[in-house]
Amino acid sequence: MSENQLNAGPLEYRTHEGQMNITGFWIFLAAEIALFATLFATYAVLFGRTADAPSPGELFQPGIVLVMTFLLLTSSFTCGVAIHNMREGTVKGLITWLIITIVLGLAFLGFEIYEFVHYSHEGATMQSSSYWSAFYVLAGTHGVHVTLGIGWVILLLIQLKQRGLTAVTSNKVFIVSLYWHFLDVIWIFIFTSVYLIGMVV
């Protein structure tokens, strides 16, 4: 790591510690992918074992799932725009786009909670069958990650207000953006392999 490398490029890469943080976060994301892989594997193995509970094909509604997908997709896009603003050096733009991102994330969570309540009223609870417990653990773990992400972004917004854009805060914001995009990557696979396949088979 030569000295002159640290003086150019985006602000979040300027310090050695910052670079290490970003590297470390990619390692964390790899571990998260392994975590979700085990949940996907459990879900795939238990697919169809609904016992006396309704089948996923009866309960999944394309409309609400598509709305959730577009909410999260758009929030991933606005998060990317926020980082673009950060690299332009505009704190105001960064804060605005981050707020839009968490509002979209909250809307996603609202729909997911509504969905879970609706399913459990229809008799598909976590205890009803092995299929539905695998479903709730997989989708619920993703939902918990979204909740954590929203809390994390809110804390960083407070820091941005107090300290402005420094090498440290921009590094933190960049890392939370990686986390947020990663949540969308996981959702793409939940959307495809849980909802779409559940409605087809």
Partner 1 sequence: MAKESGKYPIKHLIGFLLSIVLTLLSVWAALGSDLPVIWIIAAIMLLAVIQAGIQLFMFMHMVETKGVGHAPWNMMFHSFVVATIIVSGSLFTMSFGFTHDHDGEGNHQHEEQQEMQKDHSGH
User: How much is the CA Rg of the chain, to the nearest whole Å?
Assistant: 19
The residue within the footprint of partner 1, chosen from 57, 61, 66, 114 (CB under 8 A), is 66
Inter-axis angle of helices 62-88 and 167-190, nearest 10: 160
Closest distance of CB 81 from partner 1, Å: 5
Q: Binding of partner 1 at residue 64 (CB under 8 A)?
A: no
The residue within the footprint of partner 1, chosen from 3, 53, 57, 76 (CB under 8 A), is 76
Transcribe 21-79 into DSSP letters.
HHHHHHHHHHHHHHHHHHHHHHHHHTTT--TTSPPHHHH--HHHHHHHHHHHHHHHHHH
Q: Binding of partner 1 at residue 108 (CB under 8 A)?
A: no
Number of residues that bind partner 1 (CB under 8 A): 58
Q: Binding of partner 1 at residue 61 (CB under 8 A)?
A: no
For residues 112 and 184, which CB has a smaller minimum distance to partner 1 in the complex? 184
Backbone angles phi, psi at 2, to 5 degrees: -80, 160
Q: Binding of partner 1 at residue 13 (CB under 8 A)?
A: yes
CB 105 within 8 A of CB 78: no
In this structure, the dihedral spanned by the alpha carbons of residues 14, 15, 18 and 23, taken in order and rounded to 10 degrees, is 80
**Quick one: CA dihedral 127, 128, 129, 135, positive or negative?**
negative
For residues 77 and 111, which CB has a smaller minimum distance to partner 1 in the complex? 77
Q: Which residues contact partner 1 (rule: CB under 8 A)? A: 1, 5-6, 8-9, 13, 16, 18-19, 22-23, 26-27, 29-31, 33-34, 36-38, 40-42, 44-45, 48-49, 62, 66, 69-70, 73-74, 76-77, 79-81, 84, 87-88, 177-178, 181-182, 184-185, 188-189, 191-193, 196-197, 199-201
